[in-house]
Amino acid sequence: MSIHRKLLSTGAVALAATALTLIAPATAQAALPGCLAGSIVDMAPTPTGNGYWLTATDGGVFSYGDARFYGSMGGKALNKPMVAVVPTGSGSGYWTVAADGGVFAYGDAVAPASNPLPAMAGRGQLVKPIVEATRIGANGLLLVAGDGGVFALGGAPFFGSMGGKPLNKPMVDIVASPTGRGYATVAADGGVFAFGDYRGPSSNPLPGMRLAQPVTAAARDGNGFGLLLTAGDGGVFALGGATFRGSAAGRRLGGPITGIAADPRAGGYWLAGTDGGVFAYGAGAGFFGNAVSNPSCSVTVPPAGGSAIVRIAEDVLAGRAVSPWRGGSVPYVWGGGHGSVAGPSTGTCDGYTGSIKPCPATKTVGVDCSGFTRWVYRQAYGVDVLGGGNTNMHLKRMKRVTAPQPGDLVYFGSGPTNTTHVAIFVGAGRMIEAPQTGMNIRKSSVSGRSGLVGYYRY
């Protein structure tokens, strides 16, 4: 076993040690969708780096970009708050983990065959609550408690822990080795404790220095053993060869930063705060949305009774300039409108099913159906309330209504979890939509399209 430690004040200048770099805060992107019933405590990236999940203390899971929603404990009784979300290797599922060690499996995640931790917690046999978890191997889970104890579930290997040993500060996170034969645990003072084949940073000034706020989370950077640590104030610390790309230190935050996730493919990373704010750093880390709460977490009345939404949709239909569009007819584009900024963009030919060959999406600027509704709602609400996801992701942020009003969204498909089209309802049985490749934004009859799922309101 080797133990490596470090520490730094988020207001300090860069240290001479090459293992750690601190630079002035970079520009980050954030938006405003959703409603929270609990505080965000963790985030995790998809295998592609084109999305991420957030989880909250109440068990709610929020998915953005290509992260799919497979279920959650949101709205259900929990013995203890949720503390972690851990994706499967395929990205087609995830586990959520509670402070008593309870594990909840969704999608292709396999629940541990046995898990004594919740019973131990109930009997007072857990010295400190579980604070984080990580996957190791196909279905192995490693959980770490605040006292440094590590618990291996689902066939995960155990290589040791700091349980029963003196700690200067509580443990806050655990990171698996890229080989699957080791792990590192990270403490609130920035101390790093390496087990198995995990190679901790060769130097770590963090524990011996003054931090503006404690370290709250860590992530492994790249294919090696580099570590990114974040503190509650958004400071980011790069250890062991990890690359620093910016931080939220010095920014005015809606809540402490509690999560960091590294882009597994192109570099960069994201930070997440308790209020659901997400900040993206590095060219590879795209911003896909966040869970910052709307001031009203019930059904939100559309601006001016929906008239603003309809007016903007009518402007787009008429070819008027609607930011960032300078005017003119707006064509349908497969995948268009899902960039970091709501509005027309070039699309993608991935999954293209249109009849026009070859696929024109990558050479045409426009919007698809959900890109269109996202754009209009962004202009009406002043913030990107729907985010860059597809129709299923958008519908999860809406509430079904039985008496639709102009400005509501109308969805089509085989059901609420398998929607294929969305449009803006404008009243009198009519809607404005981005219909299909080869056509522009148009007004049409709701009854003219099959597979009505229902009407929804933000």
DSSP string for 370-434: HHHHHHHHHHHHSS-SS-S--HHHHHTTSEEESS--TT-EEEEEEETTEEEEEEEEEETTEEEE-
**Span of 48-62, 89-103, 258-272, 303-317 with lowest mean pLDDT:** 303-317
Q: Is the pLDDT of residue 298 over 70?
A: no
pLDDT category, 299, cuts 50, 70, 90? very low
Q: Is the pLDDT of residue 34 over 70?
A: no
Tell me the three state secondary structure of residue 208. Answer: helix
CB atoms near residue 93 (< 10 Å):
18
The model's pLDDT over 64-102, given as tens digits with 9 standing for 90+, comes to 888 888 888 987 889 999 999 999 999 999 999 999 999
Q: List the domains of the chain with CATH numbers.
A: 2-281 (2.130.10.10), 303-457 (3.90.1720.10)
The model's pLDDT over 369-387, given as tens digits with 9 standing for 90+, comes to 999 999 999 888 777 888 8
pLDDT category, 2, cuts 50, 70, 90? very low
pLDDT confidence of residue 4: 25
The model's pLDDT over 318-365, given as tens digits with 9 standing for 90+, comes to 999 998 999 999 999 999 999 878 999 999 999 898 889 999 999 999
pLDDT confidence of residue 30: 32
pLDDT category, 293, cuts 50, 70, 90? low
Q: For residue 343, give Cα distances in angstroms to 192, 368, 400.
A: 44, 10, 25
- Give the closest residue to 43 by CA, choosing from 83, 72, 76, 77: 83
Q: Is the pLDDT of residue 266 over 60?
A: yes
Q: Is the pLDDT of residue 15 over 80?
A: no
Q: How far apart (Å, rounded) are the C-alpha atoms in residues 43 and 276?
A: 10
Q: How far apart (Å, rounded) are the C-alpha atoms in residues 345 and 375?
A: 11
Tell me the three state secondary structure of residue 317. Answer: helix
pLDDT confidence of residue 33: 41
pLDDT confidence of residue 21: 32
pLDDT confidence of residue 24: 28
pLDDT category, 27, cuts 50, 70, 90? very low
Structural tokens at position 153 = 């579930």
Tell me the pairing of strands 61-65 and 215-221.
unpaired
Tell me the three state secondary structure of residue 322. Answer: strand
Residues 229 and 217: beta-carbon distance below 8 Å: yes
pLDDT confidence of residue 227: 97
Tell me the pairing of strands 409-415 and 399-401.
unpaired
pLDDT category, 405, cuts 50, 70, 90? very high
